[in-house]
Structure 1
Amino acid sequence: MTAVAHDVHASAGMNSVTVRTIHAAKGLEHPIVILANMNSRRFPPSGGSSSAITFDDPIGLRQRKQYAEDYGYPHIHDNWRTDVLRKCLPRGYDEERRLLYVAMTRAKSHLVFSAGEKPNTFLEELPVEIEEFQPDVQEFHDNESVQDHLQISIPTPDGPISYSPHSLMREDIFENVEHGMGTAFGTEVHEFAEAYARGDAVPIDENETEPDKQNVKAFLDGLSGELCVEEDAYLPLTVDGERVTIYGIIDLVHLCPGTVEIIDFKTDRSRVAESEYRKQLSVYYHVLSEWFPERDLTASIFYTAAGEQVDIDPLSKSELSRLVERVNGSSIESVSLLE
C-alpha cells in the first residue's frame, strides 16, 4: 500500500481542520474524518444513567434510587437490587453503535481512528489494521504562525474508490445563495418526512412559521403506493480502468404496480442548484433501474417550501463517469457538465 500526504490548513475556511461532536456532524461530509479518543471508558462512556427510574428490556422498569427515613433521618440511597440486576446484563451499546455509524459515514474518502493503550471494544471489532506509534509531541510556542500545515499520511485503499453523489456537485453554486434555511432546518424537515412516511406519529407545531412540514405531509398523504424511506443506493462504475462506487441514500421511493418514483426532498428556496441535484438523482435512477427493470422509473425533486414536485431528466452512466474523472483530475468546484 502507498501513502499520500495531504496539506491541511489549521486555520478556519477552506482546507481547514474542523472539530465537531458527532451529533453536530450529522448530515455533513468531509474528505478526511478522524475519530479521536476511541478509548475504553471514553467512547462509549463508562458512566451509568443518573435517572432515578430506568428501563431494561429483560428486567423491565426499575427504581434506582429509594427514599427512606431510617432512625428519623430522611435520605435517598441506591437500590442495590436494581444495581445487581443491571450488572448481570450484557451491555449491548446499541445507541453507541448507531452514533459511531453516524461518525464513520461522515467520511468521503478517508477515515482514521486514534486511541491510546486501551482501545475500546468497537475499535477492536472493526476490520481495520491498528498501527502502533509513538506521537512526536513538540513544545508549542504561541509566537509561531497559525498557518502551519498538518501533514497526514493516509494509505491508498485497496478496494473500489468510493464517492458520494454530493462529491460530484459544485460547491461554489451554494456560496451566494440568499434566504437559505441552513443545514439544521434541512435535517429537521428530512427527519419529519422520514418519520411521517414510516407511519410514526409526528405532530406539527401550530406555531411553525415555515410551510415545509405541512407541504410534506400533504404530499405524502397523496401517494397511494408503498413508501420506502432512506434506501441505500450503490452505483458501481469503471472509470479509467478503476472500480468506482458512488454511494448515497435515497430520501423516498414510491412503489406502484407498474411505476417507481424516486423523490428527493429539498428545502432549497432559490433552486439555483437544480442542475447539481440532477447529478445526485441520476445516481439513484441508475441504481433503481437495475432493481426494477420492468417498471417505468422517474426521478423528481420535491421542493418543500413551495410544495412542488419537479421531474428530473437523469444523466447517463457515461456522463456520470465523466464527472468522476473530473473529480479525480480537478477541484470539485470546477466540476460541471455545462463546461
Structure 2
Amino acid sequence: MPDIKIQNLTKVYEESGNEIVAVDDVNLTIADGEFVTLVGPSGCGKTTTLRCVAGLNKPTSGKIVFGDRDVTDKPVQERNIALLFQDIALYPHMSVQENMAYGLKIVGFSREERIARVEEAAELLQITDQLEKMPADLSGGQQQRVALGRSLVRDPEVFLFDEPMSDLDAKLKAELRPVIEKVTDEIGCPTLYVTHDQEEAMTMSDRVAVINDGELEQVAPPKEIYDEPETAFVSQFIGQPSTQFFDGRVTSVNGTAELAIGDYRYQVARDGLEGWDGDEIRVGLRPQYITVSEDPEAGIPATHLLDEPLGDATHSFFETEFGEIVVVTDPDFEGGGDEYGLVLQPEYTRLFDVRSGVRIG
C-alpha cells in the first residue's frame, strides 16, 4: 500500500469578492498502515483537507501524492480510495448484502466474487447475521458497519473517514471505535480520519494532527499531544476538562527562574526561559494537577461554585482572580460554596507566549 503525502496544501475560496483561506500550507505524511486523525473545531479546515485528498476538492496550490503517484489532478474514481461520510447513505430498497456488493457490481465483479468479498467483510464486521435484512431494520451502529463494509469490499489503497460517528450516541461510538480500528488494521492501508471529537482522536490514532484556522498546530502520538502540547490552543483543545490557564510572569532570583502567578512564586527548572525575565506569559495546567486546600491562604484564593460528580471523580468549579477554574477532585468532594486555596503543582505547568500561543517552557 502507498503512503499519503500532503505537500504545501492550500485551499482558498472566494465569497462575496473576498478570499477565504480554508487550508493554509498544510504538510502531512501518513505512512502505509498508519492511522492519523485530523482533529479541530468546526470550520478549521479538516474536512476541506480530506476532500482534497479524496479528489472532491481541487487544491488552490500544493500536491497530493499516493506513494510515488501524484494524484492532485486525478478524479476520485482514479484514486482507489474508500471514503466514509457522516451521512451513511445506504440504498433503502436493497438488502445489506446488496448494499455492500453494489459498488463491486458496477465495476464488473462476478456474482461469486461479490458474494465472497461481502461475506469476508461481514465476518470481520460481525454482521453476517444481518446480510438479508433491510437498512431500516438495523440500528445506527449496524448501519454504520454496513457502510464500512461497503468500502471494505473494494480493497482500497487509502481509507478516508469524515466524521462517520458524529450522529451516534456515546455508547454506540464506544462500540464502533474498536471495529474501525480492527478493520483498518486488517486492510493495512494508510488511514486519514477527520473528527471534532477529541476522544475519538486520542483513542484510535497512531498520531493526532491538530488543525486550527487552516494551519497544523501539532502532529504527534496521542500521549505526546496531551503531555507536551506545542501551543496553548493544542493544550486547551485536547483533554477533558481542558487545560486551565493563569496569567503569569517570569522572574529571576539569584539566577534561578521563578514563575509568579498572582501573589505566589514557583521555581521552574525549564529550558527556553532565557530572555523572558519580567515578561508576561500564559501558564497552563491540567485540572488533575491542581489541589484544593481548605486553607484559602495556602494557594490561589477561590470561591467554590458547583460540583459535577462523575462517579470515579468530581469536576469542581471555582471562581478566582483568573476567572472560572475547573479542578478534578475526589469522588466524594463537596465544596458547599466555601472559600478554598488552589495549590498548583509547578512541575506540571506548561508555559506559553501570550502573543503567539507557542510554548516556551
* Normalised-by-shorter TM-score class: under 0.3
Structure having the larger proportion of residues in strand = 2
The TM-score with structure 2 as length reference comes to 0.26
Considering Cα pairs closer than 8 Å and 6+ residues apart, tell me whether 1 or 2 has the greater RCO.
1
